[in-house]
Chain A
């Protein structure tokens, strides 16, 4: 069965002033994909994410959601599209003046007519889903970095989005917490039926959860590979991609001695 395109990026060029970060990006994220945006440090992965979620307008090109161009839509339509997004930022980006429950409650109060009690109940549920039951009245400064990430994820899920964006979700997490987060991402994809876009360079996560990907290169400033990361590992002949996916082993030809 042909896969349904959920997000399409066409001829996208991103720049800050005269400095081009990436150009001529063309890829499709299918419905239900766990799509990995990968590449070396500083290649523009997070910047691409910002262009896709409406935080920065591209120099050129289109970002389409179910065929609707995000950047050509009127503000009302754009807001309607953004309501379908759930975004987990690199540091969680929790609003520091609000408790965890209030952080999750804000999107609910903005887009629904639920009562305060109902919102509080939903917020508790979302926190419980990420293993933070009982932390409703804590402020972001009172919890650890890993807990902030999970609370950020709970907030990203507040409106049961059909598209989830994760910016370096494993950054700063220990391997076990990172693995748990990967498992959570897959469970969310399966239970919510969401399409997931993940910016990461953690190989363990890429191969554990990714089924589609794009590889951005900092030197050529464009994409140099696209597809299932497992297939790229076995079939891609680009040395930069191979070196990245094999953690440099394909370049050195030997394991580093312990």
Chain B
């Protein structure tokens, strides 16, 4: 007789394998079997039933069993599995009636062998190829989406686009006025950081006044547009992806399509239009707040007077510089809106897919913002502006 104990308590779940004779094995189950005590380790199960050999019949004794739950079913399922493989006869009379019924239920429907496709090891180069093809498909879908959006804007230009004006107003409010607090905070901080980093070096040359130039040019040409775009990518682009993705999950986009309404015109157009209209304004606002943030350092840390800082800023800012920032902001607005809407339209039919779409929207937007910023730098350099 071999005995296995899992916990040393009076109500400890126990399994005792009692070999009455070479062909008959009695499995004695006692104690309180509960999953809260963990599943019993039964390494001797295989040894008793298989390794030692000769067993033809297995029966059970549960007279000392005080309570049970799924933990006993797990153990008994293993016993039944070994018995069926080794053609050992099982006598379930000694088991509680509920246990017998549950075991029968668990084995009522045979395991579906081909339920899941076999996981085959895919060679490295195959994976690289499939990934490349996946990116190619993504690019193709992106071009399709851009094309459809372009056509929708053409229809807008002809006054034939179908969307709700109230939706456009709501999106303008959301990505305009409601974005001001976060844009203010980030822009002030960016201006502050620019001024601080510049001040450290400029002080060495006694040229701290040029902090004003650094902040003014940096904000108007680059940081105002880029930072406001990145903020809107995380705030509004993600929101667009989540909204449209959830509509996909709820079949609302299908309902639009079967009504003959273009989801691009109805959903994407007002969102893109709102962002494109608001981004230049947000950019100008971000420029202003950034210069203000820089002024805090200039006045507070470098001892410049507000008038000095203001005059130097006015001297440094150029119309061309501001325009370059504004042009970028319009393009970035398109990028953020289209990234969010495209990922939303590509969203799968589950809540997990909405999360993927949202993340993807932000990443796609930020990547393209940086890429286009680089392109603009090259173009403006070539143009000499």
Q: Select one of B167, B250, B256, B261 contacting A96, CB under 8 A.
A: B250
A-B contact count (CB 8 A): 45
A155: chain B residues at CB < 8 Å are 255
B261: chain A residues at CB < 8 Å are 106, 110
Cβ B252 vs Cβ A96 within 8 A: yes
- Bitwise, B4-23 to A at CB < 8 A (1) or not (0) is 00000000000000000000
Cβ A95 vs Cβ B162 within 8 A: no
A-side interface residues, number (CB < 8 Å)? 22
| A85 nearest CB neighbor, chain B only | B258
Q: Tell me, rounded to whole Å, the shortest Cβ–Cβ distance linking A159 to chain B.
A: 9
Bound CA–CA A95/B166 (angstroms): 14
How many B residues touch the partner, as a band? 10 to 19
Determine if B260 is an interface residue (Cβ-Cβ < 8 Å). yes
B144: chain A residues at CB < 8 Å are none
Dominant secondary structure of chain B at its interface with chain A: helix
Determine if A79 is an interface residue (Cβ-Cβ < 8 Å). yes
Bound CA–CA A143/B256 (angstroms): 21
Determine if A48 is an interface residue (Cβ-Cβ < 8 Å). no
- A49-70 contacts to B, CB under 8 A, are 50, 53-55
Q: Tell me, rounded to whole Å, the shortest Cβ–Cβ distance linking B152 to chain A.
A: 15
- Bitwise, B154-185 to A at CB < 8 A (1) or not (0) is 00000000100001000000000000000000
Determine if B352 is an interface residue (Cβ-Cβ < 8 Å). no
Cβ A53 vs Cβ B250 within 8 A: no
Cβ A55 vs Cβ B258 within 8 A: yes
Determine if B257 is an interface residue (Cβ-Cβ < 8 Å). yes
Bound CA–CA A96/B243 (angstroms): 10
Determine if B105 is an interface residue (Cβ-Cβ < 8 Å). no
Cβ A89 vs Cβ B260 within 8 A: no
Cβ B254 vs Cβ A89 within 8 A: yes
Determine if A129 is an interface residue (Cβ-Cβ < 8 Å). no
Q: Tell me, rounded to whole Å, the shortest Cβ–Cβ distance linking A71 to chain B.
A: 14
Cβ B260 vs Cβ A110 within 8 A: yes
Residue of B162, B247, B260, B261 most packed against chain A (CB within 10 A): B260
B254: chain A residues at CB < 8 Å are 50, 55, 89, 93
Q: Tell me, rounded to whole Å, the shortest Cβ–Cβ distance linking A83 to chain B.
A: 6
Determine if B109 is an interface residue (Cβ-Cβ < 8 Å). no
Cβ B260 vs Cβ A83 within 8 A: yes
Q: Select one of A79, A93, A110 contacting B255, CB under 8 A.
A: A93
- B257-291 contacts to A, CB under 8 A, are 257-261
- Bitwise, B108-134 to A at CB < 8 A (1) or not (0) is 000000000000000000000000000
Give me the 7 closest cross-chain CB pairs, A-B, nearest first. Answer: A93-B251, A93-B255, A79-B260, A89-B251, A82-B260, A93-B252, A53-B258
**CB-defined A-B contacts under 8 Å, sample of 30:** A54-B257, A54-B258, A55-B254, A55-B257, A79-B260, A82-B258, A82-B259, A82-B260, A89-B251, A89-B255, A90-B251, A91-B250, A91-B251, A93-B250, A93-B252, A94-B255, A95-B252, A95-B255, A95-B256, A96-B250, A96-B252, A97-B167, A106-B259, A106-B261, A107-B259, A110-B259, A110-B260, A110-B261, A111-B260, A155-B255
Seen from chain B, the residues whose Cβ lies within 8 Å of a Cβ on chain A are: 162, 167, 247, 250-252, 254-261
